[in-house]
Structure 1
């Protein structure tokens, strides 16, 4: 285990409203991570360092949803040994959409987009 992704637990409808508000407020990035169909963790304003972990098409970590005391949590685990000064990354696995988000990970196996 590397770190838990923490923030406010909100429903999808609240996450949609917040995402729109963040855009209107000029907040360049929002940190919304889907736990399941109805639950989102919003780390935009009250998260930890996990929200700053970048995407890679060839990551050294992966995200896993676990249940602790009947509460779902997102935990980042390492796939391999990680060296000091090595960037921690995982695959965001965004859903496929028509509008592509360019990937800048630089991996040899880069897919070219996050979705």
Structure 2
């Protein structure tokens, strides 16, 4: 285990639109399941700053602890000092593509 992705547990995605209206340029919303999102935008930890990679050294896993779903980042391999921690965001496939800038070997070219 590297770190838990923490934030406010919410049940709606309208918050992303509200953040845009408020001028908040970056939001950190991580979907747990169909109904639940963890919003780390205003009350998260360092996990919200972990970048995407198409060839990551970590992965995100949803676990249940005392009937609460949590997101935990686990390492795939030993991680060296000063090595960037990354995981695959696994965004859903959509018509509008989000360019990927990870520059990893085998980069897919988009986050979705």
Provide the TM-score with structure 1 as the length reference: 0.94
- Give SS of 1:23's match: helix
Q: CA deviation at 1:85?
A: 0.1
Aligned residues: 111
Q: CA deviation at 1:72?
A: 0.4
Structure 1 residues not aligned, in runs of 5+ = none
Provide the TM-score with structure 2 as the length reference: 0.97
The equivalent of 2:7 in structure 1 is: 7
Q: Deviations over 1:70-89 (max 9, x none)?
A: 10000000000000000000
Q: CA deviation at 1:26?
A: 1.8
Q: CA deviation at 1:25?
A: 1.7
Instruction: Specify which of 65, 68, 85 is matched with residue 88 of structure 1.
Output: 85
Residues in 1 aligned to 2:106 and 2:24: alpha-carbon distance in whole angstroms:
31
Residues in 1 aligned to 2:96 and 2:33: alpha-carbon distance in whole angstroms:
23
Structure 2 residues not aligned, in runs of 5+ = none
Q: CA deviation at 1:91?
A: 0.0
CA RMSD of aligned residues (A): 0.7
Q: CA deviation at 1:12?
A: 2.3
Q: Deviations over 1:27-78 (max 9, x none)?
A: 1111000011100000000000000000000000000000000100000000
Residues in 2 aligned to 1:50 and 1:102: alpha-carbon distance in whole angstroms:
21
